[in-house]
Structure 1
Amino acid sequence: MKSTNFFKKHTLMYGASLLLVSAQFACSKTETKDTTATTTTTTQTSDQAYDDYKNYVTQMETDVRGGWDSTATDWDTRMETARTDYDQRYNAVNQYAGEFDDTRRTEYEDLQSRWNTAWTTREQQYNTWKQTNQSGGKAMTKVDMSSMDVKKVPTYTATNIRTAYEEFVAHVEANKSNYTNDDWKMVEMYWDQLDDRKNAIQSQLSDKDKWEIAKAKTKYQTMKAGSKIGNTASNVGSETKEAGKDLSNSKVGEATKDAGKAVGNTAKKAGQKIGDVVKDND
């Protein structure tokens, strides 16, 4: 009788243990499944990332064509958000750029060019708004320089450095009249490091990329020289007027004249470089 009870007792214990193990295994399996499902929903495929990027560029073009909303007062935040949103989408799709076929690669390059055009127009609209939307009688002309972060330069590859040049030139073109001396220092520091990075990966660039980069360099050098001459002459003239001095025969005019010659020489040399690139490609 006791033997029977002993056997029944242990049989119940074993059964309970098996039920407990089964329950834990089922719970663990459910948790694993849930985690996997969560990870899958947050990962974009190449097609999803590309479509997201394409739609964002198209939407920006639509917004720019729609004109500037002068009733809004939060444009500083809007511009920062728009730039951040674009960078996120660009980084998401650019990781797949090496896998694109010729058709998609061509369209991808066109989308980048369309973005640069739309964003330059948007920045011009933004700067106009800042100059006319005065606060306390003083025009708001501070330029967003976050895109000139030199920490990004080492990450550029043969796939995206041409875009980096084009975006750089677009920023300068849209903001050159509002750059302070400190802004120009930041611009030139970024430019120097961008050029060093390009030289480091020169052998990996396509002929088309070399050509477009050469054009961007020519455009930047001309804009930089012309804008800095204008800003310097304007600032000196204003300060002198306040002091009641006559600058009609001052060194400012000579400096401007000499700088003007430098602009012409810079453009001429850059044009020769582009010609050399084409000649080498032939």
Structure 2
Amino acid sequence: MKNIKIVSGIALIVLGFTSCKDEKQEQAEKKIDSYVAYVDSVKNVKTDDLKADWAAVEAEYDRRAEEAQLALADIKDNSVATEKINTSKVKYEEFKDEMTALFTPAPSSKQQLRNALFGEGKIGEDMSFSWVNAQNIHSVYQQFVHTVENNKDSYSREDWDEIKLMYEALDSRKNTVEKEGLSSEDNRKISGLKLKFAPMYTLNRMGAKSDENADAKK
């Protein structure tokens, strides 16, 4: 009789543990489903509304994503749940890239020109060339001159004025870099690029001005 009571007691304890475990797993699955549903619902919100509350959307996403990731530990066989999380994560990242592109204003024509001459975002309104040093200045000149050479027929007179402004700023930086260990070999190569740029600038700016004057007469 005593043994029966002990076995019954153990069975009740095990049943209690199982019940708690099942409840914990159920809660974990709900958190993951909530995360998946959030990603799907965000994609249905109007773009204007998303733009106004994008910071809040991202904060809520981060919270739900973290909860879902932690919930995996409470699911015994979580391969399916993991796949659900990963699928939603990819969906959200793709959607986020789309929204970021929509929310970010297109750069001005001047900034687009600077990006082409030096690289995306390297030169902004502050016109800082502090990132140019003795190790990379030759490649900076190289990109600048080759970009101008490849696009010289499409530049307007205003473009050439901006190019000249950027060229002079780069030259000014070179004067500083020369004192910081610029090699004689790189200095020689830069001189060659400068010799190529000077007549190209003069001739093509004159041509752009002539074209604009001809268009104005029409």
Give the structure with higher Rg (CA).
Answer: 2
After TM superposition, the score normalised by the length of structure 2 is 0.42
Greater RCO (Cα-Cα under 8 Å, separation 6 or more): 2
After TM superposition, the score normalised by the length of structure 1 is 0.33
